[in-house]
Amino acid sequence: MEIQLKLYGSSKMLSDKEILHIELPNNSNIEKLRDVLNQIISEKYLKNNLKNLSKTAAFFSEADEVIADNYQLRDKELISIIPPIGGG
Amino acid sequence: MTLHTALLKTEEAKISSEKAKKFILSKENGAESIFIGRVRNENGGKKVIAVTYDAHDQAVIKSFQTICKDAKSKFDKNAKIFLEHVKGHVPVGEISILIAVSSGHREEAFKICRYILEEIKHKSPIWKKEHYVDGKDEWLPGHSLRPKEEIK
């Protein structure tokens, strides 16, 4: 299965595009997505900049609600990655 | 109308303190408090030339509305609140956020202003990337929205 991850804040270092397409095993949840994200960060040599991102990021559903680690992802689902925030 | 919130794209509009002052003007409210945040030229010893703000637009607007309504019910239901934040590239010295509040009394006006600012920093999905004199840039750390008990 594949999900579409909309990038915000520091996660934009992962791609020049707004949305990152990520391949996941079928029936993956957010916890699995965190593991895969961690691998992607390593492969792109971004460990220094994004070392805690897979742990500290939250994820929003299309309804803009935080989704829990056991949330079951659907094929082609669009979700947003929300790195630690700090406006003002 | 007693509440105005907006996220302004820097290429389209600028925050106006005059607009904010007009909005909060009320014969019933004798106290006004205005907080203006501007981009500073230094952070942690690094010389800053600008900040780029990124934001999850819909979630930011939702959070602004919730925060301001909470502030009114907590401190003064008759308060008038104007809140604007920018999204995009902001050079040093320019305004990134403006919170203007009018209330019956000064204590509530100060409290509402402070409450809104602190809540935004912890609840509104906005991110800052600082640009430095040496040409480098860096996303700043912030507060995680992931439930603490889930972070191992």
pLDDT tens digits for range B138-149: 999 999 999 888
Number of structural domains chain A divides into:
1
**Hey, how many other C-beta atoms are within 10 angstroms of the C-beta on A24?**
16
Q: What is the CATH number of the domain that holds A45?
A: 3.10.20.30
> 3-state class of B143 per DSSP?
strand
How is domain B3-140 classified at the architecture level of CATH?
Alpha-Beta Complex (3.90)
Whether A52 maps to a domain, the answer reads yes
List B95's β-bridge partners, or say none: B38
Domain that includes residue A45, residue range: 2-82
In a domain, A13, yes or no: yes
* Contact between chains at B62 and A82 (C-beta distance less than 8 A): no
Query: Rounded CA gap, B37 and A79, in Å?
Result: 31
> Do the Cβ atoms of A9 and B139 come within 8 Å?
yes
- Cβ contact B152–A86 (<8 Å): no
Q: What is the ipTM of this complex?
A: 0.93
> Which of A12, A33, A49, A85 should one mutate to test binding to chain B, selecting the residue with the greatest count of B CBs within 10 A?
A85
Residue pLDDT, tens place only, B71-84: 999 999 999 999 99
Min Cα separation A26/chain B (Å): 23
Domain boundaries, chain B: 3-140
Is A40 domain-assigned?
yes
pLDDT tens digits in sequence order for chain B, 152 residues long: 899 999 999 999 999 999 999 999 999 999 999 999 999 999 999 999 999 999 999 999 999 999 999 999 999 999 999 999 999 999 999 999 999 999 999 999 999 999 999 999 999 999 999 999 999 999 999 999 998 888 76
